[in-house]
Amino acid sequence: MFLWHKHAVSAQSQDKVALRNQQGEVFTWKVFSKLVDNVAYYLHNQGVIENSGIAFYSKNSMEVVLLYLASIQLGARVIGINPAFPIEKMQALCRENDIQFYYSQDLLIDIHHLIPLKLSIDSYLLDKGLPLITFHIKSDRPATMTLTSGTTGNPKAIVHSMQCHLDNALGVCKLVNFTSNDSWLLSLPLYHVSGQGIIWRWLSVAGELHLPKDDFYSSILQVTHCSLVPTQLQRLLDYITKHNITEFNTKHILLGGTYIPTELTAKLLALGVCSYSGYGMTEMASTISAKKSDHLSGVGNLLIGRQIKFVNNEIWLRGAGLALGYWKAGKVVSLLNKEGWLATKDRGIWRNGELVILGRMDNMFISGGENIYPEEIEQVILKYPDIEQVFVFPISDKEFGNRPVAMIKLKNGFNQKCIDDLQYWLMDKLEKFKRPIQYVDLDRVKYQNSNQIKISRVLLQKELALLLGNVK
C-alpha cells in the first residue's frame, strides 16, 4: 500500500489535513489520496504504463505534486526539469533519459517526439467514482530521476527508489522533530532533490504540506518547518524586520545548498527559531549530515544509516538514501567505486567532533605552487558584513600561473570603498596568495539563476570569462 493510501484509510489520519494549496484550500488525506488515484487513472488513459518516462517542465504546483505521486503509483519513472532551461535543452535531456511523456503548465509549448500530458484538477475532484489504477508496489524499483546540478556542464540523471527517499526522510524527521502534528512548506523546487525530500518527509509522518502563496515569506511563517538556502534565509530575516513581525508559527528551518553563515543562524536563534546546518547531495537523496546551528562552521554528524570515510581528504559515502545509480542508455549504472563507496569529490575533515566541508576537489587550482580551494576563500569573505554572495575563480597569471578573482554581491550595491575596506579586512584572515587580486560585481553577470538552488559554477565561470577574457 502506498503511503498516501495508508494515510487515507487510517482512522488517525484520514480526516486530517494533508495539503494546503496555493489558494489556501485544504485537502484531507482521504480526499488527497483519491485525487492521486484519479490522476493516475487519467495518466494511464493517456498511455502511461509501467516503466514509462515522465518529465515535468514546470514550477511547483498542486498539479505537479499529484503528477509526481501518480507517476510513481503507475510504476513509471518521473523526472523534473527546470522550466528556466531552454526547450532545446529540455528535449535533449528527455532523449538522453528515455522520456516519452511530459507535463508543462504552459499549454502552448510543443515539444517534438514527446507526448504532452493533460491535467485538470477540477475534473479530478468531480470524478469520484473512477477505478483504481495502480502498479504492484516495489519499494526498490526506479521511481524518480533527479538531475545533478551539473558542475561539469552535463547534468546526469540520478535514479532513486521510494525506499531511498524514505530512508533519507527517516533521519531528517528525527533530527528536526517533524511529526504528524507539524507542517512543512514546499519551499524548494521538485526538480531538485531537496524539494523531493520535503515530499517524502511529509508522506513518512502523515504531516501537513503547504504550497507557497503569492507572498512566499509570509507562507514560511505559517508552517512549523521549512527548508531554505542561505539567500532565502537572508531575505526572510529582512522580511521579518521590514514588517516588524513578532509572532509566527515557524519553529524549525533546515538549511543547505551552500556554505551557511553563522551570523544568519544566530539571528534566527534570537527569534526563537531552531535552524539546522546540513550537508547533502543528490546521490544520497538529500541530507546526509546536519546539526542544530551553532557558532561553528561544521555540518554536524551523519544521520541514521549513513556511513562515511575519508580517502586523501575526499569524502566517501554509502548507506541510507544512496541512489540506485545513474541512468545511462536505458539502464541504471552503479555510482559506486570498486571499493563499494560513493566517491563524492568533496573534501572534508572531522573537526571538533563534527564533519567540516572544505570544498570541491575539482574546483581546486594552483597558484605559485600552492593549492587554492575557492570555497575556503569564499567562507572567509562571507563573514564580512557587507557581503551577500561570493564566488572565487582562477585567472591566468604569467608569474604565478593562476591568481584568485572574486565575483561578489554587496548588500548595498557594488562600490570601490567597500572593496578597499574588504581587502584591508582580509589582511590578517587570509594568506596573501589566497586574497583575490580583483573583484567583479556579480550583478554584471548576464547568467540569471533565480530558479536554481545552487548557482552553476560552470555557467558563472563562462560569464566571468566573457567579462575578463582570461579566466580558466
162-217 pLDDT, tens digit per residue, is: 999 999 999 999 999 999 999 999 999 999 999 999 999 999 999 999 999 999 99
Per-residue pLDDT at 273 exceeds 70: yes
Count of CB atoms within 10 A of residue 359's CB?
A: 21
Rounded to an integer, what distance in angstroms lies between the CA atom of residue 374 and that of residue 221?
Answer: 35
Residue 147 and residue 127: Cα distance in Å, rounded?
Answer: 34
Which pLDDT score is estimated for 366?
Answer: 85
Calpha distance 144→196 (Å, rounded):
9
Instruction: Return the number of other C-beta atoms located less than 10 Å from residue 254's C-beta.
Output: 28
Res 448: pLDDT: 45
* Domain assignments of the chain as residue spans, ordered by start: 197-361, 364-468
pLDDT higher than 50, residue 102: yes
30 vs 36: CA distance, rounded Å: 10
Cβ burial, residue 244 (10 Å; 0-12/13-18/19+): exposed
State the number of CA atoms in the 13 A half-sphere of 260 facing the CB: 35
From residue 182, give the alpha-carbon distance in Å to each of 17, 152, 177, 187, 206. 11, 39, 9, 15, 9
- Domain 197-361 top-level CATH class: alpha beta
Q: In the predicted model, what is the mean pLDDT of the chain?
A: 90
Give the pLDDT band of residue 107 (cuts 50, 70, 90): low
Instruction: Measure the CA–CA gap between 319 and 284, rounded to whole angstroms.
Output: 8
pLDDT band at 148 (very low <50, low <70, confident <90, very high): confident
pLDDT over threshold 90, residue 358: no
Residue 152 has pLDDT above 60, yes or no: no
In contact, 52 and 76? CB cutoff 8 Å:
yes
The pLDDT of residue 216: 96
Helices (H), ranges, 121-229 = 121-126, 162-176, 193-205, 216-220
Element housing 423 (H / E): helix 416-426
d(CA 167, CA 165): 6
Q: What is the mean pLDDT of residues 403-415?
A: 90
What's the pLDDT score for residue 184?
98
User: How far, in Å, CA of 443 to CA of 388, rounded?
Assistant: 12
Report the range of poorest mean pLDDT among 56-70, 103-117, 270-284, 323-337: 103-117
Phi/psi for 365 (5° steps) reads -140, 165
Contacts of 302 (CB under 8 A, 6+ apart): 288, 289, 308, 319, 355
73: cell is 503509483
Among the residue ranges 115-124, 125-134, 392-401, the one predicted with the least confidence is 125-134
Q: Please tell me the predicted confidence (pLDDT) of residue 109.
A: 65
pLDDT band at residue 151 under the 50/70/90 scheme? very low
Distance (Å, whole) CA 335 – CA 283: 8
Q: Rounded distance, CA 269 to CA 328, Å?
A: 45
Radius of gyration over every alpha carbon of the chain, rounded to an integer in angstroms: 23
Burial (Cβ within 10 Å: 0-12, 13-18, ≥19) of residue 363: buried
DSSP state of 191: T
pLDDT above 70: residue 127? no
Residues 79-89, mean pLDDT to the nearest whole number: 89
Say how far apart CA 192 and CA 196 lie, in whole Å: 7
Average pLDDT over residues 225-254: 93
How is residue 70 written as a grid cell? 501518480
- pLDDT of 149 reads 63
Region 389-401: mean pLDDT is 87
pLDDT score at 471 = 54
Q: How confident is the model at residue 309 (pLDDT cuts 50, 70, 90)?
A: very high
Which single residue is written with the C-alpha cell 467514482? 129
Least confident of 35-44, 127-136, 327-336: 127-136
Residue appearing with cell numbers 475534473: 123
Residues of the chain with pLDDT > 70: what percent?
A: 93
Instruction: Given CATH 3.30.300.30, say whether it is the number of domain 364-468.
Output: yes
Q: What cell does 400 get?
A: 604565478
Rounded Cα gap, residues 183 and 267, in angstroms: 22
CB-based contact 287:279 (threshold 8 Å): yes
**208-210, strands of its sheet edge to edge:** 26-28, 17-20, 208-210, 183-185, 225-228, 252-255, 274-281, 286-292, 301-302
Which pLDDT tens digit goes with each residue over 20-63?
A: 999 999 999 999 999 999 999 999 999 999 999 999 999 999 99
| 449 pLDDT higher than 60 | no
CA 193 centroid distance within chain? 5
| Percent with pLDDT over 90 in the chain | 68
pLDDT tops 50 at residue 458: yes
Helix axes 193-205, 162-176, angle to 10 degrees: 80
